[in-house]
Structure 1
Amino acid sequence: MTQGVQVAGLYVRDQDEALQFYVEKLGFRVHTDVRNGDYRWLTVQHPEQPDFQLGLFRPQAPMVDDATARALQEAVAKGAMPPLVLAVEDCRAAHAEMRGRGVEFTQEPIERYGAVDASFRDPSGNGWKLVQR
């Protein structure tokens, strides 16, 4: 039996805003964008990882109740979720390219632990690390 992670999700406050950020600033592409009433299943893919999708989901019913949705939105906005890692060949070059597209970094590239890394957040507050392979 073959198994693997196909979709990992992030909570975002606004799916349209998140979609614009991930496509226009990070270079992802839309995989799935379907609606069922108020619920929207929205996933993007990195162009070099066609078997993996990143879900951009609003915390809402049917996944959670209203109070939990508010608490999750507040936690994400504060940067309380663990960062995701985007592996790059050259951290400084990726940083310059992404910064040119309007990505605001919270940490400039720094060399440590035998690698170079930088940090940024998406519009909802989700933390990301650029890590040089």
Structure 2
Amino acid sequence: MELTQIRLLVSDFPTAYRFYRDVLGLRPQFEAENGPYAKLSPDTGPAPIALQDRAQMAGVLARLGVEPEGYRALVVLRVEDLDAAHAELTSRGAEFTLAPGPMGDRMRVAYLEDPEKNLIELQEWLTLREQAGSAVG
């Protein structure tokens, strides 16, 4: 089994697409601002995020509700400098629900929502697992 992507079902495809492309700065595999599908990738790493028009998918899966309630997804993006990423995304119009702060002793995080109310976590790793393990021994 191989994970190929995480796909978010979105009700307002153009708005979600522009958020991931223009605000978060992910690179589209191909331009598809009006959908019904797009795959966008961060600068590093193999894990793309895909957007799927919710109404189109509801036609495939009759059980799919019109609108989800509460958080249904958490997208986690690692950044090298959380404060710099926070400042850059804020300058692009992102509104954070939680400003940068510590999460334990190995990372700092900040949270924002995409236009579909999916939760996004930005992580800055302070100590890599390998470094933490070698420091103990």
**TM class by smaller structure:** 0.7 to 0.9
Q: 1:117 maps to which residue? A: 109
Shift, 1:24, TM fit: 0.5
Deviations 1:5-54 (A, max 9, x none): 221101111111111101110111111467xxxx82221111223x4321
Q: 1:91 maps to which residue? A: 82
Q: Gapped runs of 5+ residues in structure 1?
A: none
Q: Gapped runs of 5+ residues in structure 2?
A: 126-137
Say which one has the larger Rg: 2
TM-score w.r.t. length of structure 2: 0.77
RMSD: 2.0
CA distance in structure 2 between the partners assigned to 1:43 and 1:58 by the alignment: 12
TM-score w.r.t. length of structure 1: 0.79
SS of the aligned residue for 2:29 comes to strand
- 1:60-71, aligned counterparts within 5 Å? 60-65=57-62, 68-70=64-66
Q: Give the counterpart letter for 1:64 in structure 2.
A: L
Deviations 1:54-97 (A, max 9, x none): 111122344422x6231xx232xx3x224221111111111111
SS of the aligned residue for 1:69 comes to coil
Q: How many residues align?
A: 120
Relative to structure 1, the CA distance from residue 6 to residue 33 in structure 2 (aligned partners, 3 Å threshold; closer, same or farther) is farther
* Greater strand fraction, Structure 1 or Structure 2: 1
Relative to structure 1, the CA distance from residue 26 to residue 82 in structure 2 (aligned partners, 3 Å threshold; closer, same or farther) is same
Give the fraction of aligned pairs with identical amino acids, expressed as a percent.
27
Which structure has more RCO (C-alpha within 8 Å, separation ≥ 6)? 1
